[in-house]
Amino acid sequence: MTWLSDRALGHLKSMADLPDFSATRYDIEEEIGRGGMGIVFRGRDRELAREVAVKVTTWPGADVDRLRDEARVLAALEHPGIVAVHDAGRLPDGRAYYVMAIVRGERFDERAARVTLADRLRLFDRVCDTVAFAHARGILHLDLKPANIMVGPYGDVRVLDWGLARLGSDPGRPITHMAGTEGYMAPEQARGIVDERSDVYALGAILRGLVAAESALPSRDRGSGVPATGRPLRPLHSIVMRAMAEDPTNRYADVASLAADVRRFVDGHAVDAYREPALERIARVGRTYRTAIALVFAYLAMRIVLIFWGR
């Protein structure tokens, strides 16, 4: 008897999991992701000679309606931050699938760990822009987290995994499946009560991770890309606290308001979530407008010198 290694068994299992796409125009190459609802494969569209990603339900008959709903949500959201859907259908074995553009890059948190705080916040702003776009079309994501956000080689951001997405205009319909991810899921979401502020909470949790990473660095190692260099992080902490308030009525009313407050911090302005002490305000204004203030002082100093010189 010949015993197979764990690696060989794993390979055989992955081959067994490969769905039969022989009746379609797609060739399946390898598995690139797996979740509770389905498996994502790298594939190739023979008709158009291009690489694609194919999401397939885990087994015949499983989660067909949810996968179909996810495909329809994505197809309805044409935005640079949302992956385009090319095709959808059913396989002979009963599995549902849809085909989308393949996403290249790295996870949001992996990219964030390698860039300055300013660049992290700019990436966060692009995530907010994508989610705000979906909200404007009545769609809630409900599972926002770093693992569901990809950053491309040129800083392009893609928000993925809309499997829990639902219409925000139907708050009375309960959520009958897994309601998000612990640590990012709003308290009311676990009870099946959701609106735009549920996604605001998750975005606040993502922002909390960005701020925590900066707080853990020695001051000499922190990125200097923020215009208000050396500015305390207390305003950002206050933004996180408002976004993640237990009571939804105490959060930002929408994603746009959250993003605007973060941009105010990056630009060196006062933020709505933080009551700034007078001395801190003076220091912030001094940092933000230090070039202009230096020029004014230089001009005044020169005038004084010329006056005394003339005398």
CATH number at residue 235: 1.10.510.10
Label the pairing between strands 50-57 and 26-34. Answer: unpaired
d(Cα 105, Cα 83) in Å, to the nearest integer? 13
Q: What is the DSSP letter of 195?
A: -
Asked if residue 167 is part of any domain, the answer here is: yes
d(Cα 215, Cα 209) in Å, to the nearest integer? 10
Amino acid in the structure at residue 97: Y
**Structural domain span for residue 79:** 7-101
Q: Tell me, what's the pLDDT at 289?
A: 55
Residue with tokens 């951001």: 157
Catalytic residue among 143, 199, 254, 261: 143
- Considering the domain architecture, whether residues 136 and 200 belong to the same structural domain is answered as yes
Say which range, 141-145, 175-179, 249-253, 262-266, has the weakest mean pLDDT.
Answer: 175-179
Say which range, 112-116, 230-234, 271-275, has the weakest mean pLDDT.
Answer: 230-234
Asked if residue 195 is part of any domain, the answer here is: yes
Asked if residue 112 is part of any domain, the answer here is: yes
- The total number of residues shown for the chain amounts to 311
Give the pTM: 0.79
d(Cα 167, Cα 203) in Å, to the nearest integer? 18
Closest CA to 154 of 205, 105, 87, 116: 105
Q: Tell me, what's the pLDDT at 308?
A: 73
What are the DSSP calls for 111-149, one per residue?
Answer: HHTTS-HHHHHHHHHHHHHHHHHHHHTTEE-----GGGE
Number of other residues whose CB lies within 10 A of the CB of residue 206: 22
143 is catalytic: yes
| Phi, psi at 116, each rounded to 5° | -70, 165
The yes-or-no verdict on residue 48 having pLDDT over 70 is: yes
Asked if residue 33 is part of any domain, the answer here is: yes
Asked if residue 298 is part of any domain, the answer here is: no
